[in-house]
A = this chain, B = another copy of it.
Amino acid sequence: MSEALTEVLAFFEEWKPSLPAMLTSMEKRFTDQTVWENVGLSKTTGFAEAKAFMDGFAQMYPIETAEVIVHHAAAHGNVVLTERTDNFFDKNGKQIVSIKLMGVFEMDGSKIVAWRDYFDTAKGF
Contacts and interface: CB of A to CB of B under 8 A. Distances in A.
B79 A72 contact: yes
Interface of A is mostly: strand
Contact of A40 (B75, B80, B104, B122): B122
Nearest to A79: B72
Total copies of the chain = 2
Contacts of A121: 120-122
Contacts of A101: 118
Contacts of A76: 72-74
Given A39-B120, A81-B83, A118-B118, 12 more contacts: A39-B119, A40-B120, A40-B122, A41-B120, A72-B79, A73-B81, A74-B80, A83-B102, A83-B116, A101-B118, A102-B104, A120-B121
